Amino acid sequence: MSGEREHPEPEQNAPEQNAPEQNEPEQNERGQNEPEQNERGQNEPEYDWAGYGFATRQVHAGETDQHTSGARIPPIAMTAGYRFDSFDDARGRFSGEADGLIYSRQRNPSGAVAERRIASLEGGLESIVVASGQAAITAALFALVSSGDRFVSTASIYSGTRILFGRSFARMGVGVDYVWNDADEAEWERQIGPSTKAIFTETIPNPKNDIVDLDYVARVAARHKIPLVVDNTIASPYLIRPLEHGANIVVHSSTKFLSGHGAALSGTIVDGGTFDWAGADRAYPLITEPAPSGARSYLDRFGPTAYARAAREAVVNDIGPALSPFNSFLLHQGIETLSVRMRQHLENAETIAAWLATHENVESVDYSGLPDAPRYELARTLYDGRPGSVFAVTVKGGENGARRFLNRLRVFSHMTNIGDVRSMALHPATTTHSSFSAELRERLGIAPGLVRLSVGIEDAGDLIADLEWALR
CATH number of domain containing 435:
3.90.1150.10
Could you give the 3-state DSSP secondary structure of residue 362?
strand
Across 4-13, 332-341, 361-370, 455-464, least confident range: 4-13
- pLDDT grade for 18, boundaries at 50, 70 and 90: very low
> Does residue 324 lie in a domain region?
yes
Nearest residue to 177 (alpha-carbon basis) of 146, 208, 201: 201
Same-domain check for residues 349 and 238: no
**Residues 325, 78 contacting (CB under 8 angstroms):** yes
Residue 160 has a pLDDT of 97
Give the count of beta carbons closer than 10 Å to the beta carbon of residue 15: 7
- Three-state secondary structure call for residue 175: strand
The CB density around residue 66, as the number of other CB atoms within 10 Å, is 9
Indicate the residue among 278, 304, 335 that finishes a domain: 335
Q: What is the pLDDT of residue 106?
A: 86
Q: Work out the pLDDT band at 19, boundaries 50, 70, 90.
A: very low
Which residues 6+ apart lie within 8 Å of 164 measured at CB? 134, 137, 138
Q: Taking the C-alpha atoms of 59, 64, 66 and 71 in order, what is their torsion angle to the nearest 10 degrees? A: 20
CB 160 within 8 A of CB 432: yes
Residue 8: pLDDT above 50? Answer: no
> Count of domains in the chain?
2
Reported as a pLDDT band with limits 50, 70 and 90, residue 186 is very high
| pLDDT tens sequence across 67-99 | 556 678 888 888 999 899 999 999 999 888 888
Q: Please answer whether residues 131 and 250 qualify as being in contact, where contact means their C-beta atoms are separated by less than 8 angstroms.
A: no
Give 393-430 pLDDT, tens digit per residue.
Answer: 999 999 999 999 999 999 999 999 999 999 999 999 99
What are the Cα distances from residue 46, in Å, to 19, 51, 339? Answer: 23, 12, 21
Residue 69: its pLDDT value, please? 64
What's the full length of the chain, in residues? 472
Q: Inform me whether the pLDDT recorded for 52 exceeds 80.
A: yes
For residue 434, the enclosing domain spans 338-471
Rounded alpha-carbon distances, angstroms, from residue 120 to 57, 62, 72, 246, 384: 7, 8, 20, 17, 22
Mean pLDDT of the chain, nearest integer? 91
Grade residue 104 by pLDDT with cuts at 50, 70 and 90. Answer: confident
Instruction: Output the pLDDT for position 27.
Output: 54
CA-nearest of 426, 387, 126, 136 to 255 is 136
**Could you tell me if 304 and 125 are in contact, meaning their C-beta atoms sit under 8 angstroms apart?**
yes
Residue 16, helix vs strand vs coil? helix
Asked if the structure places residue 23 within a domain, the reply is no
What does the pLDDT average to over 194-220? 97
Alpha helices in 7-51, H assignment, sequence order: none
Beta-sheet pairing, 249-252 with 267-271: antiparallel
Amino acid 33: pLDDT: 55
What is the Cα–Cα distance from 368 to 232, expressed in whole angstroms?
Answer: 16
Percent helix / strand / coil, the chain, rounded to 5: 40, 15, 50
Together in a domain, 227 and 266: yes
For CA atoms 398, 404, 406, 411, the dihedral sign is: negative
Facing residues of 253 across strands?
none
* CA separation for the pair 363, 397 (Å, rounded): 9
pLDDT at 30: 57
Residues 267 and 342 in one domain: no
120 is a domain residue: yes
The mean per-residue pLDDT over the stretch 254-278 comes to 97
Least confident of 60-69, 279-288, 445-454: 60-69
Verify that 390 and 322 share a domain, yes or no.
Answer: no
Beta carbons of 331 and 260 less than 8 angstroms apart: no
How high is the pLDDT of residue 48? 83
**Average of pLDDT values for 197-224?**
97
What angle separates helix 460-471 from helix 398-408, to the nearest 10 degrees?
130
120 in Cβ contact with 105 (< 8 Å): no
Give the residue-averaged pLDDT of 210-221: 97
Torsion of CA 435, 439, 440, 445, to 10 degrees: 110
**What's the pLDDT score for residue 32?**
57
Residue type, 232: N
Q: What is the pLDDT of residues 380-395, one digit of tens each?
A: 999 999 999 999 999 9
| pLDDT level of residue 350 (50, 70, 90 thresholds) | very high
348 is a domain residue: yes
Of 286, 301, 335, the last residue of a domain is 335
Please check whether residues 362 and 242 belong to one and the same domain: no
pLDDT score recorded for residue 96? 82
Instruction: Give the E-state strand segments of 332-468 in sequence order.
Output: 362-366, 390-395, 413-414, 424-426, 450-454
Among 289, 314, 335, where does a domain finish? 335
**Cα→Cα distances 450→153, 206, 433, 439, 453, Å:** 24, 12, 11, 15, 10
Residue 130: per-residue pLDDT? 98
